[in-house]
């Protein structure tokens, strides 16, 4: 008889008879699940999942290192397979491996038996995910691997199963119990397999010295791609967009420049065109509160000297970090200067927010 993944595991089994109070089912008249009940159940689920991860973590041994060695030495691809919920986990593991420097793809065991077995090559390594280790659907793939002498690494909760016995390296992913109150639906076990897959990917990433610039090559779009590739030069305001004034300019005139350029600040330069200060719209308000005649003063007497700066070749995320980690509190404008200290551009927090790299600052 074909064994199914959701066969009851050894250990406590669900009680028969009337449904226990508070368990999901047909609501009784006048009864409702309270917020407290839901939170209690959610915390219990997380406790079981965490307990499962800890159990797997404690059992990790040299077999994990053997698996990493096999995957690292693979000159072909890491073919990840599994069926059902384990198949979904296998797809994610394959995707994580691929994005972190290990060529990988997912092979559906049923489709493999109907032509996709041609994906396999002698240079590959098979990574099988099967908690029960008794999935009939995996037999054809395992047989093909045996014929081609492809090594097999398995993530399973049953080392003595057919999958375990047929594997070159077995990583024990057994959990004390599922988070499902019936101890049936794959929950804690799939979390454990997913986490072990992540551990393999990270171990391989470090073994390959896979760095941020490599990651950027596999993530050219989306927020990750922008974080890893966009430089300040790509997004900065420059040329006629820059609000800049000389150090002896009256604050009144600087105010008109600030309004016209719409960056919420003016940059102050000396006679050699070097950046020496900044006045923001917030600074302007504070100046006028203290001195009603402040608009007639030269900007050098009221500016904030030595403003925060960055080079145009730095990443936008580094500019964001510098703006957020300012000792006096987060700032919204950052000057972009060249090696001599001349103003090249400016970047505003709103530009970074529009890129999706930061949350909008509070109003």
Q: Which residue has the higher pLDDT, 353 or 217?
A: 353
> Does residue 8 surpass a pLDDT of 80?
no
| Strands 275-280, 304-305: pairing kind | antiparallel
Tokens 């076990």 correspond to 189
Q: Which CATH superfamily is domain 39-210 in?
A: Glucose-6-phosphate isomerase like protein; domain 1 (3.40.50.10490)
Lowest mean pLDDT among 58-62, 164-168, 220-224: 220-224
Task: Return d(Cα 147, Cα 138) in angstroms, integer.
Answer: 15
- Least confident range from 145-154, 198-207, 282-291, 349-358: namely 349-358
Q: Report CA 93 to chain centroid distance, whole Å.
A: 14
What's the pLDDT score for residue 3? 42
Q: What is the SS3 assignment for 6?
A: coil
Inter-CA distances, 231 with 88, 125, 182, Å:
36, 39, 52
Judge whether residue 1 has pLDDT over 70. no
Distance CA(133)–CA(170), nearest Å, equals 11
Each domain of the chain, given as residue ranges in start order, spans 39-210, 232-354
Candidates 150, 155, 163; CA nearest to 201 is 155
Helix (H, G, I), strand (E, B) or coil at 180: coil
Give the number of other CB atoms < 10 A from CB of residue 277.
21
Q: How far is CA 7 from CA 134, 182, 185, 299, in A?
A: 10, 11, 9, 78
Query: What is the chain's alpha carbon radius of gyration, rounded to the nearest angstrom?
Result: 30
The percentage of residues in the chain with a pLDDT greater than 70, rounded to a whole number, is: 83
Query: Contact 184/76 with Cβ under 8 angstroms?
Result: no
Long-range CB contact pairs, 107-111, < 8 A, 24+: 107/79, 107/80, 107/81, 107/141, 108/81, 108/83, 109/81, 109/82, 109/83, 109/135, 109/137, 109/138, 109/140, 109/141, 110/83, 110/137
Please tell me the predicted confidence (pLDDT) of residue 354.
81
Q: Name the pTM for this structure.
A: 0.60
Say if CB 89 and CB 194 are below 8 A apart: yes
Q: Are 252 and 297 in contact (CB under 8 A)?
A: no
193-207, 221-235, 304-318: which has the minimum mean pLDDT? 221-235
**If you average pLDDT over every residue of the chain, what do you get?**
86
Q: What is the pLDDT of residue 327?
A: 80
Q: Nearest CA to 280 among 234, 311, 323, 316? A: 323
Q: Which residue has the tokens 């090696």?
A: 339
SS3 337: strand
Domain 232-354 is in which class? Answer: alpha beta
> What's 295's DSSP letter?
G
Per-residue model confidence as pLDDT tens digits over 58-94: 999 999 999 999 999 999 999 999 999 999 999 999 9
Q: Which residues pair with 78 in a beta bridge?
A: 104, 125
Measure the CA–CA gap between 33 and 28, rounded to whole angstroms.
10
**The pLDDT of residue 316:** 84
List of E strands, the chain? 78-81, 104-106, 125-129, 152-156, 169-172, 244-246, 265-269, 275-280, 304-305, 309-310, 333-337, 343-348
């Amino acid at each position: 008889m074909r064994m199914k993944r959701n066969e009851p595991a050894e250990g406590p089994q669900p009680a028969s008879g009337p449904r226990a109070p508070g368990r999901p089912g047909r609501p009784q008249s006048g009864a409702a699940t309270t917020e407290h009940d839901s939170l209690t159940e959610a915390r219990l689920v997380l406790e079981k999942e965490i307990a499962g991860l800890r159990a797997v973590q404690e059992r990790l041994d040299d077999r994990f290192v053997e698996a990493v060695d096999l995957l690292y030495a693979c000159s072909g691809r890491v073919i990840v397979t599994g069926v059902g919920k384990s198949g979904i986990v296998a797809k994610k593991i394959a995707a994580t491996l691929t994005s972190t420097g290990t060529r990988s793809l997912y092979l559906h065991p049923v489709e493999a038996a109907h032509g996709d077995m041609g994906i396999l090559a002698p240079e590959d390594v098979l990574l099988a995910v099967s908690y029960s280790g008794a999935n009939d659907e995996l037999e054809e793939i395992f047989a093909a691997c045996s014929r081609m002498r492809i090594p097999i690494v398995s993530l399973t909760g049953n080392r003595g199963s057919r999958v375990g016995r047929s594997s070159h390296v077995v990583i024990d992913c057994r959990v004390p119990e599922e988070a499902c109150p019936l101890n049936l639906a794959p929950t804690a076990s799939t979390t454990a397999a997913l986490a072990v897959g992540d551990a393999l990917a990270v171990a391989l990433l470090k073994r390959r010295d896979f760095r941020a610039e490599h990651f950027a090559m596999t993530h050219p779009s989306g927020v990750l791609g922008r974080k890893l590739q966009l430089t300040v030069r790509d997004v900065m305001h420059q040329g006629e967009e820059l609000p800049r004034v000389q150090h002896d300019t009256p604050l009144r005139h600087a105010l008109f420049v600030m309004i016209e350029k719409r960056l919420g600040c003016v940059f102050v330069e000396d006679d050699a065109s070097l950046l020496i200060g900044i006045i923001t719209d917030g600074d302007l308000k504070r100046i006028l509160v203290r001195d009603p005649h402040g608009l007639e003063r030269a900007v050098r007497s009221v500016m904030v000297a030595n403003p925060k700066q960055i080079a145009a070749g730095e990443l936008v995320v580094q500019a964001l970090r510098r703006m957020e980690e300012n000792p006096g509190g987060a700032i919204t404008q950052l000057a972009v200067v060249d090696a001599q200290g001349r103003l090249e551009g400016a970047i505003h927090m709103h530009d970074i927010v529009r890129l999706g790299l930061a949350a909008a600052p509070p109003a």
